[in-house]
């Protein structure tokens, strides 16, 4: 693969081209799912191709192809240059990239149990066993289970001299159970919605999830929701489980800190950000106990945003995004770093495949653990609403106003669950919400969740991102507005 | 079948031959192959300059094997004999591991389907310079108004074919061009988007001018309280909101009891002025005349004068229900079954400007954003307005207003439609393109207001 990547690099370097990088990628995927005791989407796929990115006439051009013959690569390289030259028809200024070292590196993510070497029968057997357990609970009308495995080998080579060979294996697994009764559909998911939990691991993740052990409880909760009281509408203290908090971080911190959004690159589609450049190191983003990092380094954990180098050859880094409540950093690229006053990129450029360009994407944007015990999070107020597992999510195109729905909630009095609540939702303004953060549980309750389906860009790319969080409490949050009469 | 150079029939047949013989070596007689090729390009602009500009050429071969009511699929983008053989072996390995499906239909046999001509050479031949020149003109229109423009101009050509061991050979080639533009001033924005098979039908300058005018009209935005308002939803807003419900018009969704139509088919659910068809052959529609198994698409009357009448039914759902298939199945195996994908909502005769002129007080909505389902049975959806939200008073646009969050039941909304415009092909960001009208709706529920 390295030889092919270097040949592509040579093919694109020509008069008028000031920079080239290529990403030659081999993808492999296996997806297994069941529905009500029958196989669902059971499939495998593989894909190989190359993306060639050039700067010519001071502008970007990019072409991707799966024709890896010499002629195919030559055609793609020529097209990338032609596209860059056409970009110059509507150019405002010449592109300048922040400097970066040349690296020669090989990196393979840890994978204790190779999911692709395991018998498919064993994987399906587990899913069918979970499916059967779920449907043993009376009132369950639909049970769905799934596993998803991917392996990507990517060779990155650039005209600056880098040659970086990375292989990442990710695993996801989970289940969802539905109950339809008397004009109401309720559902519960485990360990998270969006197909479960995803990490940069092998099959060992599936073993850790204890899917069968949790199936009866989750199925019973789905059915019990029909008899639960409607979540009240009002302003209450709110406690979020770590999976819902992970999505809250994703939407109300992760996206706003993307510097390309701030600068307007996404204005037509994904939108912009309230975090204008003047807010850097001045905005009180959250309360003093809120500390958020963007950390792609393996030592942060096996997240969907963990790697050794990003997709323009910049090493994985940790960036302080919010320090003791103060907004301190954006996610940047080689093209945008200077706008934030940085000399170099902090390494967040990622593409979802060989056919797309890298964009600024979340790596692992995590809320650091707090100093409170879980008993303090739940018990230090007389009354609160505790919500688990995302059901709906929506935020405006500058990331101020959000609304989330969860699958289940409980009313908490003096640290104890006193009643189950159905159809819970909460809403607010991003900075007001994070400034109301009153308690964050410690490291022992911290989980690095995976969000596998983050959309951005045109053509749209779907990226996996990581978000570490532990349960946390927020004061005086608007609850129940989604069902407002 | 208008064969194109990107995917010649001969290549498709060669690939199928390789897959079929590889399957026979494994003792498998029933094989289905989907071959797809696409060449697409997208030029993206922001801050009045092209900032991203890409092209991609993609090919894939997806092979499904069937034996003893078991089935599985494997996909590759390598067309050599070894890769095809490996894909067949992978599909067979998964297939051998699953339990038999009780209602798995036999491979579809060949059926005649209506030809649709949705390929335009001018779109297929568009060059990077063609797109860049149109964008430069759009940027010029924004700059003349002292505004900032962002958007895309994309062109694509593609073809896909479905072949199986029962003799199906279904082939469809198509092109599509899309132009979208957001124009921004200090505190306001406007947006317009269009798609067409023939790029020459897209008036890029006209759409840029429309976005610029919306941004101009919505300057100095005012903050209104949330509440129930009469709204005029422009076609893109209708598309992205109403478009969220068509996955429920599915026989499999009804069986799974995850459709809001469970227990409601044949009952009057919406206003009498709401009729909705699925029609792959409508002149403003896109896509092939066959489904993911190569079965011909039928026309469906989904909603007749407010009453849900028909749903899409795959061959597998048809076998289970003892009813005829409708040609809307997704490639097997899958969990969701089928869905209508060529939606045509019957329009009326009240254009948007007459709706506005008739309104004492209400809100004109250009576009909606980040729409998600809050309640699956009452079909409550949440989302935001975006890029052109206006207060209308006394039949005239008074000012732009800060964007609202809505929490609105689609069932209730479609009971409250007071007027419909003529239908048109419309492109949005939250669902696929459809043929829909603008709607004037009473008591539309806005629950919050954001900061801009």
The rounded distance, in Å, linking the Cα atoms of A109 and A204 is 13
Q: Which pLDDT does position B1 carry in this prediction?
A: 56
Same domain, A151 and A172: yes
B-contacting residues of A 33-52, CB under 8 Å? 33, 35-49
Domain that holds residue A254: 230-483
Same domain, A114 and A28: yes
Query: Of B75, B335, B450, which is closest to A401 when you measure between CB atoms?
Result: B450
User: Which of B:164-203 have CB within 8 Å of A?
Assistant: 180-182, 184, 189, 191
Cβ B102–A48 below 8 Å, yes or no?
no
Q: Does A147 touch chain B (CB under 8 A)?
A: no
Question: Same domain, yes or no, for A192 and A240?
Answer: no
**Contact assignment for B256 to A142 by CB distance below 8 Å:** yes
Q: What is the pLDDT of residues B167-190, one digit of tens each?
A: 999 999 999 999 999 999 989 999
Touching check for A95 and chain B: CB below 8 Å? no
Residue B112 — very low, low, confident or very high, per pLDDT cuts 50/70/90? Answer: confident
Q: How far apart are CA A96 and CA A395, in angstroms?
A: 33
CB within 8 Å of chain A, chain B residues 5-64: 40-60, 62
CATH of the domain at A131: 3.30.2290.10
Mean pLDDT across B424-450 = 97
Are A190 and A130 within 8 A, CB to CB? no
The two tokens of residue B337 are: 């079954």
Count of pairs with CB atoms under 8 A, one residue in A, one in B: 276
| CA-based nearest residue to B117, from B6, B197, B7 | B197
d(CA B365, CA B349): 19
Residue of B nearest to A82 (CA): B128
Is the alpha carbon torsion for B429, B432, B434, B436 positive or negative? negative
Under an 8 A CB cutoff, do B382 and A43 touch? Answer: no
Tell me which chain B residues have a C-beta less than 8 angstroms from the C-beta of A121.
97
> Boundaries of CATH 3.30.2290.10 in chain B?
9-201
Asked if the C-beta of A343 comes within 8 angstroms of chain B's C-beta atoms, the answer is: no
Which secondary structure element, helix H or strand E, spans residue A125, and what is its range?
helix A120-135
Rounded Cα distance between A99 and B66, Å, is 55
**Angle at which helices A70-87 and B128-144 cross, to 10°:** 20
Using an 8 Å CB-CB cutoff, list chain A residues near B78: 46, 48, 66
Q: Cβ separation of B94 and A43 shorter than 8 Å?
A: yes
Give pLDDT, residue B115. 84
Q: Are residues A430 and A283 in the same domain?
A: yes
Find the CB nearest A89 among B97, B136, B262.
Answer: B136
Contact list in B for residue A43 (CB cut-off 8 A) is: 72-75, 91, 94, 333
CA distance A266 to chain B (A): 8
Residues of B numbered 431-450 whose beta carbons fall under 8 angstroms of chain A's beta carbons: which are they?
445, 447-450
- Binary contact (A87, B445; C-beta < 8 A): no
Residues of A in contact with B70 (CB under 8 A): 39
Q: Are residues A340 and A310 in the same domain?
A: yes
When the pLDDT of each residue in chain B is averaged and rounded to a whole number, the result is: 97
- Distance, CA of A268 to chain centre: 22
Give the model's pLDDT for residue A485: 78
Question: Mean of the pLDDT values across residues B318-327?
Answer: 95
Give me the DSSP letters along A331-397.
B--TTTGGGGT-SS--S-EE-SSTTS--EE--SBEEEPP-SB-HHHHHHSSSEEEEEEEEEEEEE-T
A80 with A214, same domain? Answer: yes
Same domain (yes/no): A116, A161:
yes
Contact B151 A268 (CB under 8 A): yes
Q: What is the pLDDT of residues B127-149, one digit of tens each?
A: 999 999 999 999 999 999 999 99
Contact present, B91 and B73 (Cβ < 8 Å): yes
pLDDT in tens, A324-375: 999 999 999 999 999 999 999 999 999 999 999 999 999 999 999 999 999 9
Angle B81-97/B9-25 helices, nearest 10 degrees?
A: 50
Q: How close B349 gets to chain A, by Cα (Å)? A: 31
User: Are both A319 and A241 inside the same structural domain?
Assistant: yes
- Both A255 and A292 in one domain: the answer is yes
Question: In whole angstroms, what is the distance from residue B348 CA to residue B359 CA?
Answer: 17
A185 vs B contacts (CB less than 8 Å): 257-258, 376-377
Which of A227, A251, A269 is the endpoint of a domain?
A: A227
Of A227, A253, A274, the position where a domain reaches its end is A227
Q: Last residue of some domain: A180, A210, A227?
A: A227
pLDDT in tens, A193-252: 999 999 999 999 999 999 999 999 999 999 999 999 999 999 999 999 999 999 999 999
- Indicate the average pLDDT of chain A: 97
Which residues fall within 8 angstroms of residue B222, CB to CB, at 6 or more apart? Answer: B391, B399, B400, B401, B402
Considering only CB atoms, A268 lies closest to which of B136, B150, B382, namely: B150
At B159, list the tokens.
């073809």
Q: If you average pLDDT over residues A439-455, what whole number do you get?
A: 97
* Contact residues on chain B for A275, CB-CB shorter than 8 A: none
B214 touches chain A (CB under 8 A): no
Q: Chain A partners of B139 at a C-beta cutoff of 8 Å?
A: 90
For A:237-276, CB contacts with B below 8 A are 263-269, 271, 274
- SS3 track for chain B: CCCECCECHHHHHHHHHHHHHHHHHCCCCEEEEEEEEEEEEEEEEECCEEEEEEEEEEEEEEEEEEECCEEEEEEECCCCHHHHHHHHHHHHHHHHHCCCCCCCCCCCCCCCCCCCCECCHHHHCCCHHHHHHHHHHHHHHHHHCCCEEEEEEEEEEEEEEEEECCCCEEEEEEEEEEEEEEEECCCCEEEEEEEECCHHHCCHHHHHHHHHHHHHHCCCCECCCCEEEEEEECHHHHHHHHHHHHHHCEHHHHHHCCCCCCCCCCCCCCCCCCCEEECCCCCCCCCCCECCCCCECCCEEEEECCEECCCECCHHHHHHHCCCCCCCECCCCCCCCECCCCEEECCCCCCHHHHHHCCCEEEEEEEEEEEEEEECCCCEEEEEEEEEEEEEECCEEEEEECCEEEEEEHHHHCCCEEEECCCEEECCCCCCCEEECCEEEEEEEEEEECCC
- What is the pLDDT averaged over residues B183-207? 97
Gap from A39 CA to chain B (nearest CA, Å) = 6
pLDDT of res. A14: 81
pLDDT confidence of residue A16: 84
Residues A8 and A131 in one domain: yes
Encode burial over A446-472: b for 16+ CB neighbours within 10 A, e otherwise. bbbbbbbebebbbbebebbbbbbbbbb
Q: Which residue has the tokens 């039928």?
A: B298
Q: How far apart are the C-alpha atoms of B230 and B413, rounded to whole Å? A: 11
* pLDDT tens-digit series, residues B334-375: 999 999 999 999 999 999 999 999 999 999 999 999 999 999
Ramachandran angles phi, psi of B51, nearest 5°:
-120, -20
User: Are B48 and A92 within 8 A, CB to CB?
Assistant: yes
Contact B75 A90 (CB under 8 A): no
Residues of chain A found within 8 Å of residue B184, distances taken between Cβ atoms: 267
Least confident window among A89-93, A408-412, A436-440, B75-79: A89-93
Nearest CA in chain A to B137: A90
Residue A29 sits in the same domain as residue A83: yes
Q: Cβ–Cβ of B335/A481 closer than 8 Å?
A: no
Kindly determine whether residue A66 and residue B98, on different chains, have CB atoms separated by under 8 Å: no
Residue that the structure tokens 């399906």 belong to: A124
Label residue A15 by pLDDT band (50, 70, 90): confident
Q: Does domain B9-201 have CATH number 1.25.40.10?
A: no
Residues 374-433 of A with CB under 8 A from B: 391-398, 400-401, 403, 405, 423, 425, 427, 429
**A105-155 tens-digit pLDDT:** 999 999 999 999 999 999 999 999 999 999 999 999 999 999 999 999 999
Residue B2: its pLDDT value, please?
77
User: What is the DSSP code (8-state) at residue A316?
Assistant: P
Restricting to A residues 162-191, those with a Cβ less than 8 Å away from any Cβ of B are 178, 180, 183-185
Alpha helices in A183-328 (DSSP H): 204-209, 211-224, 242-249, 259-262
Residue in this structure with the two tokens 């795959």, named with its chain if needed: B314
CB A377 within 8 A of CB A441: yes
Cα dihedral sign, B393-B395-B399-B404 = positive
- Do A220 and A238 share a structural domain? no
Domains in chain A, number: 2
pLDDT at B96 over 60: yes
Select the residue of A40, A141, A356 nearest B334 (Cβ to Cβ). A40
Q: Alpha carbon B100 to chain centroid distance?
A: 33
């Amino acid at each position: 693969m390295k030889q092919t990547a270097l040949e592509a690099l040579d093919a694109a370097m020509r008069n008028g081209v000031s920079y080239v990088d290529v990403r030659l990628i081999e993808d492999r995927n296996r997806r297994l799912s069941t529905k009500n005791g029958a196989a669902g989407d059971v499939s495998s796929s593989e894909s190989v191709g190359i993306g060639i990115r050039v700067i010519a006439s001071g502008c970007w051009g990019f072409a991707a192809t799966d024709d890896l013959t010499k002629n195919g690569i030559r055609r793609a390289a020529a097209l990338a240059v032609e596209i860059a030259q056409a970009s110059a028809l509507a150019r405002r200024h010449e592109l300048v990239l922040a400097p970066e070292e040349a690296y020669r590196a090989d990196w393979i993510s840890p994978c204790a149990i190779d999911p692709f070497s395991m018998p498919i029968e064993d994987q399906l057997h587990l899913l069918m066993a979970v499916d059967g357990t779920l449907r043993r609970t009376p009132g369950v009308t639909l049970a769905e289970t799934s596993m998803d495995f991917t392996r990507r080998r990517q060779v990155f080579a650039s005209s600056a001299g880098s040659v970086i060979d990375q292989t990442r294996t990710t695993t996801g697994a989970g289940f969802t159970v539905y109950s339809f009764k008397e004009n109401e559909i309720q559902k519960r998911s485990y360990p998270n919605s969006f197909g479960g939990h995803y990490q940069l691991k092998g099959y060992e993740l599936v073993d850790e999830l204890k899917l069968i052990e949790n199936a009866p409880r989750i199925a019973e909760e789905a059915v019990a929701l029909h008899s639960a009281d409607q979540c009240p509408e009002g302003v209450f203290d709110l406690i979020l489980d770590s999976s819902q908090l992970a999505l809250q971080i994703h939407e109300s911190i992760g996206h706003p800190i993307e510097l390309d959004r701030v600068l307007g690159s996404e204005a037509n589609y994904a939108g912009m950000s309230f975090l204008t450049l003047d807010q850097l190191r001045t905005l009180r983003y959250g309360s003093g106990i809120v500390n958020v990092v963007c950390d792609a380094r393996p030592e942060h954990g096996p997240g969907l945003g963990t790697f050794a180098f990003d997709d323009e050859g910049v090493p994985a880094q940790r960036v302080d995004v919010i320090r003791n409540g103060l907004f301190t950093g954006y996610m940047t690229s080689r093209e945008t770093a200077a706008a934030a006053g940085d000399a170099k990129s902090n390494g967040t450029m990622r593409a979802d495949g060989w056919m797309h360009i890298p964009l600024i994407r979340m790596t692992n944007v995590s809320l650091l653990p707090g100093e409170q015990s879980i008993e303090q999070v739940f018990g230090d107020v007389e009354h609160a609403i505790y919500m688990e597992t995302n059901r709906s999510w929506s935020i405006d195109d500058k990331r101020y106003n959000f609304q989330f729905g969860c699958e289940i909630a409980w009313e908490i009095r003096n640290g104890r669950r006193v009643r189950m609540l159905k159809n819970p939702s909460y809403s607010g303004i991003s900075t007001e919400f994070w400034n109301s953060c009153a308690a964050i549980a410690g490291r022992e309750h911290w989980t690095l969740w995976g969000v596998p389906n983050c959309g951005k860009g045109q053509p749209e790319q779907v990226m996996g991102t990581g978000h570490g969080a532990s349960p946390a409490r927020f004061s005086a949050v608007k609850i129940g507005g989604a069902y407002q009469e | 079948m208008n064969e194109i150079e990107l995917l010649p029939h001969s290549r498709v047949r060669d690939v199928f031959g390789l897959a079929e013989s590889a399957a026979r070596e494994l003792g498998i007689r029933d094989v289905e192959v989907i071959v797809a090729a696409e060449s697409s390009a997208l030029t993206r602009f922001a801050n009045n300059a092209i900032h991203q500009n890409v092209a991609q050429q993609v090919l894939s071969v997806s092979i499904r094997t069937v034996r003893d009511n078991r089935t599985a699929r494997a996909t590759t983008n390598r067309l050599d004999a070894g890769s095809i053989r490996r894909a067949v072996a992978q599909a067979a390995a998964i297939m051998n591991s699953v339990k038999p499906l009780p209602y798995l239909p036999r491979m579809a046999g060949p059926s005649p389907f209506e030809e649709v001509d949705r390929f335009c050479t001018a779109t297929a031949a568009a060059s990077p310079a063609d797109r860049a020149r149109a964008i430069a003109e759009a940027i010029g229109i924004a700059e003349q108004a002292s505004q900032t423009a962002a958007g895309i101009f994309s062109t694509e050509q593609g073809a896909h074919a479905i072949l199986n061991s029962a003799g199906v050979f279904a082939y469809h080639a198509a092109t599509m061009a899309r132009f979208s533009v957001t124009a921004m001033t200090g505190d306001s924005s406007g947006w317009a988007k269009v798609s067409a098979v023939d790029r020459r039908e897209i008036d890029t300058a006209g759409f840029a001018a429309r976005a610029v005018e919306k941004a101009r009209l919505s300057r100095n935005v005012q903050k209104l309280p949330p509440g129930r308002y009469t709204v005029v939803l422009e076609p893109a807003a209708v598309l992205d909101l109403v478009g969220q419900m068509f996955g429920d018009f599915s026989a499999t969704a009804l069986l799974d009891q995850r459709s809001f139509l469970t227990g409601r088919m044949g009952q009057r659910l919406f206003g009498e002025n709401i009729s909705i068809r699925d029609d792959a052959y409508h002149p403003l529609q896109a896509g092939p005349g066959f489904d993911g198994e190569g079965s011909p698409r039928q026309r469906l009357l989904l909603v007749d004068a407010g009453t849900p009448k028909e749903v899409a039914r795959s061959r597998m759902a048809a076998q289970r229900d003892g009813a005829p298939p409708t040609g809307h199945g997704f490639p097997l195996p899958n969990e969701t079954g089928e869905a209508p994908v060529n939606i045509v909502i019957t329009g009326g005769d009240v254009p948007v400007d007459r709706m506005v002129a008739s309104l004492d007080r209400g809100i004109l909505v250009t576009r909606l954003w980040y729409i998600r389902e809050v309640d699956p049975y009452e079909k409550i959806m949440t989302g935001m307005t975006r890029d052109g939200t206006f207060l209308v008073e006394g039949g005239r646009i008074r000012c732009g207003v800060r964007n609202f969050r809505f929490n609105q039941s689609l069932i209730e909304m479609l009971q409250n439609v007071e007027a419909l415009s003529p239908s048109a092909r419309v492109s949005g960001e939250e669902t696929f393109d459809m043929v829909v009208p603008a709607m004037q709706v009473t008591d539309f529920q806005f629950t919050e207001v954001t900061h801009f």
